[in-house]
Amino acid sequence: DGGITQSPKYLFRKEGQNVTLSCEQNLNHDAMYWYRQDPGQGLRLIYYSQIVNDFQKGDIAEGYSVSREKKESFPLTVTSAQKNPTAFYLCASSKVAGDDEQFFGPGTRLTVL
Amino acid sequence: EDQVTQSPEALRLQEGESSSLNCSYTVSGLRGLFWYRQDPGKGPEFLFTLYSAGEEKEKERLKATLTKKESFLHITAPKPEDSATYLCAVQAGGYSSASKIIFGSGTRLSIRP
């Protein structure tokens, strides 16, 4: 089955620790995205990548970092510089950047204690 | 400022009771408007894309319409399995403007049997 996988589903970390969230897709999509979702708010774009070895900051990139070494993979690191990291993180992909339909993964809920 | 507002925040209906969800937007250069369905603790699932005023799209009990200022998601004779949060998103600007995708905060729809 083609799709997007995110792992883990739930993640707990102590304050001050960096943590990396995994996102893998087997849809052969060029573009990948990371969003953050907080209760009662819409999705906010953290980073996006249009092609391998390229990525751009979204609206709320501070305290986050990404890499895109392979087409299939777009991991997100939440650093200790992120002031309020507890949230639901969603990874998405589309055939090309700016394409209409984005396919979303199941999400990772990060809780920082 | 580009903005997307969804109303109501929450809607409770009886099974079979038709209604509409609203998505109003203020963006420069609308490129497309998207509707997604999101179940609790899961990633959004794509429903529709609308490109221009007057356009309509249907899928089972759902119909999405678009005007120059807003979009409606009409749900006809809903069933309990239609209960979910419905998200609206707008893409503004030119090609590859992934950073210009703006999500509304969603409408939580609950259908009672």
First and final C-alpha spacing in chain B: 41
Specify the pLDDT at position A41.
Answer: 83
**Cβ B98–A98 below 8 Å, yes or no?**
yes
Task: Pick the more confident residue, B97 or A93.
Answer: A93
Q: Taking 70 as the threshold, does the pLDDT of residue B96 lie above it? A: no
Q: Taking 80 as the threshold, does the pLDDT of residue B93 lie above it? A: no
**Cβ B97–A98 below 8 Å, yes or no?**
yes
Q: What is the DSSP string of A44-57?
A: EEEEEEEETTEEEE
**What's the pLDDT tens digit per position in B26-73?**
988 888 999 999 999 999 999 999 999 999 999 999 999 999 999 999
Give the neighbor-by-neighbor strand order of the sheet with A4-7: A4-7, A19-25, A76-78, A64-66
- Beta-carbon contacts of residue B21 (< 8 Å; ≥ 6 apart): B6, B7, B8, B11, B72, B73, B75, B86, B107, B109
Specify the pLDDT at position B28.
Answer: 80
Specify the pLDDT at position A5.
Answer: 96
**Cβ A58–B87 below 8 Å, yes or no?**
no
**What's the pLDDT tens digit per position in A95-106?**
877 667 889 999
- What is the overall mean pLDDT for chain B? 92
Task: State mean pLDDT over B86-95.
Answer: 82
Specify the pLDDT at position B99.
Answer: 58
Which residue among B36, B43, B103 sits closest to A105, beta carbon to beta carbon?
A: B43
* Residue A17 to chain B, least CA–CA distance (Å): 24
Query: Rounded CA gap, B88 and A100, in Å?
Result: 13
Query: Rounded CA gap, A16 and A38, in Å?
Result: 20
What does DSSP say about strands B10-14 and B107-112: parallel, antiparallel, or unpaired? parallel
% of chain B beyond a pLDDT of 90: 81
Q: Taking 90 as the threshold, does the pLDDT of residue B24 lie above it? A: yes
* Residue B89 to chain A, least CA–CA distance (Å): 9
Chain A residue numbers touching B45 (CB-CB < 8 A): 104
**Cβ B98–A43 below 8 Å, yes or no?**
no
Interface with B, mutate which of A59, A99, A102, A103 (most B CBs under 10 A): A102
* Residue B85 to chain A, least CA–CA distance (Å): 11
Per-residue pLDDT in tens (0 to 9) along chain A, 113 residues = 569 999 999 999 998 899 999 999 999 999 999 999 998 888 999 999 999 999 999 989 999 999 999 999 999 999 988 889 999 999 999 987 766 788 999 999 999 98
Cβ–Cβ < 8 Å for A55, A15: no
